[in-house]
Amino acid sequence: PVEDGHYQGQLEIQIVFKDGENIVNYDKYELLSPVVKDTAKSFPNLLDIQRYSLPSGNYSLELTMKDPNSEEEPVLSTVYFDIDFSESQVHFSGIELIHSYKKSNEDNILNKNGYKLTPFVFDYYSDIITELTFYAELYNGQQLLGGDQVLLYYYVRPLEVTKKLDQFFFMKKVES
């Protein structure tokens, strides 16, 4: 409960990045939901985006979530990943699935390179979704390719085979 008989959800979040046993980055914060009047009605989904810079390395990410209003044990999730971006090669970031985007120069966590990117947070696409929007970054392009244009192509393929689906193959000229 919060003021005026309203309610607000709260999670305690802890994020730890480790390279072996060494902690290389760490964060701890509270994630608060919007305030609602009645919890029996629909409760809003929570969206949380955090971005962290890490040098090349082999990492584990430990995410701990605790409901401070519950006696249940915290939820702990660990994932392992590598970052290996050589400064002498051009690299792409992973793709970020996007629900929507628009030009914006606001200073907030949803903005990247002059765009407000609202993430697509689900891993299921219903048949009413007719567009797959994503964001990716090209690293070292300016240094290694200069200001030249490059031909970017992207496609969708089935998971089981490496054949591109012709109706989902696209090309576009972009600045490096």
Question: Cβ–Cβ contacts within 10 Å for residue 117, how many?
Answer: 22
Q: Among candidates 40, 30, 21, which has minimal Cα distance to 64? A: 30
In contact, 55 and 44? CB cutoff 8 Å: no
Q: Among candidates 20, 16, 39, which has minimal Cα distance to 29? A: 16
Task: Flag whether pLDDT at 84 surpasses 90.
Answer: no
Query: Which SS3 state, helix, strand or coil, does residue 42 take?
Result: coil
Residue-level pLDDT at 101: 95
pLDDT digits (tens, 9 = 90+) for 123-153: 788 888 888 899 998 888 888 888 788 888 8
**Residue range 88-102: average pLDDT?**
90
Residue-level pLDDT at 161: 87
Residues whose CB falls within 8 Å of the CB of residue 63, separated by 6 or more in sequence, listed in order: 13, 14, 15, 76, 77, 78, 79
Beta bridge partners of 70: none
Residue-level pLDDT at 115: 94
**Confidence class of residue 49 from pLDDT cuts 50, 70 and 90?**
confident
Residue-level pLDDT at 57: 92
Residue-level pLDDT at 16: 98
Residues whose CB falls within 8 Å of the CB of residue 1, separated by 6 or more in sequence, listed in order: 7
